[in-house]
Structure 1
Amino acid sequence: MSGGRNPGTELDLGWISRVRVNHPAVLRRAEQIQTRRTVKKDWQAAWLLKAVTCIDLTTLSGDDTPSNIHRLCFKAKHPIRDDLLQSIKMEDFARVLDTVKALKDAGCDIPVASVATGFPAGQTPLKTRLEEVRTAVDDGATEIDIVINRTLVLTGRWKELYEEIRLFREACGEAHMKTILGTGELGSLTNVYKASLVAMMAGSDFIKTSTGKESVNATYPVALVMVRAIRDYYWKTGIKVGFKPAGGIRSAKEALVWLSLIKEELGDEWLIPELFRIGASTLLSDIERQIYHHVTGRYAAHHDLPMA
């Protein structure tokens, strides 16, 4: 990741105490974004390829095997079939992946991200969670996804939350830290905003909606609150923090809505993998199907996209 680190700031409890979220206004804005007329044809293909550059290919299954991981790595190296890219004159598209670090076994420049800190609940002892972070870094992870203890948010213990995240940041060393808020379990949009601020003050390089294991994952109202917290933090500190929606994002159409949300709320400068990621395991397959249809005029059979 070529973006700068977030050094964090001192905990500003005054700022946190003043936070109020206008729930109806957020819902209206979220509805407006979803009903926006979508782009078509070549423009749609271009936006879908942009989405591919921001996807974190993810597997969190308990039954993963080495062959599953090798398959995932191959797909990361070849996200869209080469002949499809050549048909739309984008054969050099895969070079966007040069923005990230190294996955030596796959022979290409792709980062390894690991979950830690008692994923997904974040309820294990602090000492154990910190050791998980250090172990993941020692094993070669260049990005660490930490999980906050949601109880600290629900009980308003902002100083404890800040101090825990600072310890995780220290344990990450040179690895970038993405902080998962578990927004579906935080109780209110106001709590989502406050938790976002605390996570950024404590030095998070990204804030992320969900683990993907909650009953409610990435939603547009939650995203609006989080990206506006990112915008406010940037205006106050000059520090850009990344945003990652995760969980339940499966279709190319949804990807276009997420890109539109980021473009309108944070601007084009956030539409890079250093500052925006989509956490998804199946989204890439649908995007490749849409690119196939754009090129050929027909929908792919299973054997046409065997990695899907």
Structure 2
Amino acid sequence: MSTETLTSAPASGAELRAFLHGLPGVDQVGADERAARLATRSIKNDAKAQAIDMAITMVDLTTLEGADTPGKVRALCAKAARPDPSDPDVPRVAAVCVYPDMVEHAVGALEGTGIGVASVATAFPSGRAPLEAKLVDTRAAVAAGATEIDMVIDRGAFLAGDYLKVHEEIVATKQACGDAHLKVIFETGELVTYDNVRRASWLAMRAGADFIKTSTGKVSPAATLPVTMIMLEAVRDFRAATGRMVGVKPAGGIRTTKDAIKYLVLVNETAGPDWLTPKWFRLGASSLLNDLLMQRRKLTTGVYSGPDYFTLD
């Protein structure tokens, strides 16, 4: 497949289907075994301290609840900018992720910090709405100041084999984003097979995604190491074919420092060190930051602080 083909619109649904089903199949047993093997890598204390700070800078600190309020969002933004008020050396997170109607509150609270404001859009988390409604959702978030849009694909269309519809919706959403970066969420727990994860990854990248993301966090299973590894392989191979880098964001179920470090090892060993930066790798989480802070304090002071020491996310 030529670079021109990979970076241009598909000629037809049949052409896109032929391309996606022509991708090499995923050896499920092999993928599970490799991810499990990488998860056993041990990291010494000096490297662990660096990994913790790196993971903090990659966090998209997230609140996506029906009970979210402006006050809750402002408090989360304060934590994003100063994760541990007693330690100014703790780095800031990458972004705060909220619903579209909370974007203006996040933008105001984060002004001058350099922290991104991400907004879910396109009928999150189901993705089941008319395209025009999804685009209105996206444009409203961007107009309010969102610098990143996390869209969800229509899994029903994808599983029915209507790949062209999914492609066209990603293209339209990317256009509606303007200068904002687009993260495309697959909801991998509903895609069922690793082959589908690989196909969704290539489909989204062909359509112009800046990031590909595992999950909404609303469906189980959410992020897993094997699924993330398959997505990392896809972005690695896509860059080799086209020269364009695409980021990866696992989200949902990543709660501990040990989890986060496993993902960093996975990135380094699969896609390579170029992806070990918040520009190209994010961790979508709500409770992870507190565990990172607790483990960081233990390494720097020798004293383990309980979860009540830090504010709840």
- Provide the aligned C-alpha RMSD in A: 2.0
How many angstroms does 1:225 deviate by? 1.1
Equivalent position of 2:175 in the other structure: 170
Rounded to whole Å, the distance in 1 between the matches of 2:142 and 2:252 is 24
Equivalent position of 1:268 in the other structure: 273
- The worse-fitting range, judged by mean Cα deviation, of 253-262 and 73-82 is 73-82
Equivalent position of 1:237 in the other structure: 242
* Residue identity in the other structure for 2:59: I
Equivalent position of 1:94 in the other structure: 91
Equivalent position of 1:196 in the other structure: 201
Q: Do residues 220 (structure 1) and 219 (structure 2) align?
A: no
Q: Do residues 279 (structure 1) and 284 (structure 2) align?
A: yes
- The worse-fitting range, judged by mean Cα deviation, of 15-24 and 192-201 is 15-24
Aligned length: 291
How many angstroms does 1:307 deviate by? 5.4
Counterpart of 2:298 in 1: which secondary structure? helix
Equivalent position of 2:9 in the other structure: 10
Among candidates 127, 131, 138, match of residue 143 of structure 2:
138
Rounded to whole Å, the distance in 2 between the matches of 1:302 and 1:251 is 12
Counterpart of 1:212 in 2: which secondary structure? coil
* Residue identity in the other structure for 2:8: T
Any conservation in 2 of the 1:103–1:109 contact (CA below 8 Å)? Answer: no
Equivalent position of 1:22 in the other structure: 27
Rounded to whole Å, the distance in 1 between the matches of 2:233 and 2:32 is 14
Unaligned segments of structure 1, at least 5 residues: 1-6, 86-90
Counterpart of 2:116 in 1: which secondary structure? coil
Equivalent position of 1:106 in the other structure: 110
* Residue identity in the other structure for 2:58: C
Any conservation in 2 of the 1:103–1:110 contact (CA below 8 Å)? Answer: no
- With over 3 angstroms needed to count, the CA separation of the structure-2 counterparts of 1:152 and 1:220, relative to structure 1, is same
Equivalent position of 1:61 in the other structure: 65
How many angstroms does 1:97 deviate by? 6.1
Counterpart of 1:49 in 2: which secondary structure? helix
How many angstroms does 1:156 deviate by? 1.5
Q: What's the CA shift string for 1:154-186, capped at 9, x where partnerless?
A: 112111211111111111111110000011001
Identity %: 44
Counterpart of 2:91 in 1: which secondary structure? helix
Among candidates 39, 43, 56, match of residue 43 of structure 2:
39
Rounded to whole Å, the distance in 2 between the matches of 1:128 and 1:96 is 31
* Residue identity in the other structure for 1:215: S
Counterpart of 1:47 in 2: which secondary structure? helix
Counterpart of 1:26 in 2: which secondary structure? helix
Counterpart of 1:119 in 2: which secondary structure? coil
Give the TM-score taking structure 2 as reference length.
0.88
Among candidates 77, 84, 103, match of residue 81 of structure 2:
77
How many angstroms does 1:47 deviate by? 0.7
Counterpart of 1:52 in 2: which secondary structure? helix
Rounded to whole Å, the distance in 2 between the matches of 1:74 and 1:42 is 28
Q: What's the CA shift string for 1:33-67, capped at 9, x where partnerless?
A: 1222x213222111100100100000001111122
Give the TM-score taking structure 1 as reference length.
0.89
Unaligned segments of structure 2, at least 5 residues: 1-5, 96-105
